Amino acid sequence: MTNETSAALLYGILPSIREICGKDQQAEKALIQTFLKAEKHAPGFSDDFMRSFHKQAETVPYPYEATILATSSQHLREFQLSNDSELASLIQSRADNLKKILSSIPRVIPDRPIFLQTIKDIASNIRMLLDALNQRIEINRQKSRASTDRLDMQKREFVRFSKRFSEALKEYFQDRCDERKRGVFREANRLLHQTNQVLNTLRHN
């Protein structure tokens, strides 16, 4: 799945299914499996599905990319680490904080002073998350080479997308047009997706 499709599925479709189904776990499981299968066989289906709803909505305060971003700080069980160590809790907390700040971008971007402070907060949270990940990598290094390599590779991807987000911000401040703004939303979505990928790697490492 692409980053955007993952966001559409994770933060739009799956939470809605869980809310609609309530305590009917069989219906929930069946619907989730249907969407997962559709996405697997037709990549981009979830994104198209969510975009169609967004277009038909009578009032939409944000463009589609911003709408997905604004909903992306939800606590999903797919990205929750077990609290088996102080470091795991620290990584979870820092990842959740980063996602929360990233998801605030659509709301704060019109206010330059607040947006500039938000950017500083994002940079600070990226550094703190990387510090915690480096600690985990050092611990893993003493136990498993394969586990260390997987986490180190995911960390490098996280850094790469952090730089892409930074470049999108530079382009936006050079020319604050709607397309540059959408570029910020897209790269923020991708960085948030990479944050989830870090958590997912840790869950299965």
Domain-by-domain residue ranges, the chain? 1-60, 76-203
Token code pair at residue 53: 């709803």
Rounded CA-CA distance 30/38 in Å is: 12
**For position 4, what pLDDT does the model report?**
57
- Radius of gyration of the chain measured on its C-alpha atoms: 18
Contacts of 158 (CB under 8 A, 6+ apart): 129, 130, 133, 191, 194, 195, 197, 198
* pTM for the predicted model, two decimal places: 0.86
Fold of 76-203: Four Helix Bundle (Hemerythrin (Met), subunit A) (1.20.120)
pLDDT digits (tens, 9 = 90+) for 18-54: 888 888 889 999 999 999 898 888 888 888 888 887 8
Rounded CA-CA distance 154/172 in Å is: 27
Rounded CA-CA distance 49/31 in Å is: 14
pLDDT digits (tens, 9 = 90+) for 60-89: 667 888 888 998 888 888 889 988 889 999
Look-up of token digits 């382009």? 171
